[in-house]
Amino acid sequence: MKQKAVFYHAGCPVCVSAEQSVLAALDRNRFDVEVVHLGTTKRRVSEAEKLGIKSVPALALDGQVFHINFGADLSALK
């Protein structure tokens, strides 16, 4: 069974860079990848908060959160 990778972003330049490099580098044979734009999908901000996400871009690998550089604070997306 594949592991789950969820990439949370807000369309910011830092987010796009992380998506194009880090997310694109993941092994798709082992990970199902979902991309969530929190700026346009605000109902998922609370999900991100529960995971422990403080800023975007962030990558959740099987629920474990990794903040990648800094684009925007989650509070700015509410």
**Residues near a second copy, by CB under 8 A:** 3, 5, 17-18, 21-22, 25-31, 59, 61-62, 64-70
> Is residue 9 a contact partner of residue 38, using CB atoms and an 8 Å limit?
yes
**What's the closest the beta carbon of residue 29 comes to a second copy, in angstroms?**
8
Task: Identify which of residues 45 and 68 has a Cβ nearer to a second copy in the complex.
Answer: 68
> Is residue 3 a contact partner of residue 29, using CB atoms and an 8 Å limit?
no
**What's the closest the beta carbon of residue 76 comes to a second copy, in angstroms?**
19
> Is residue 38 a contact partner of residue 12, using CB atoms and an 8 Å limit?
no
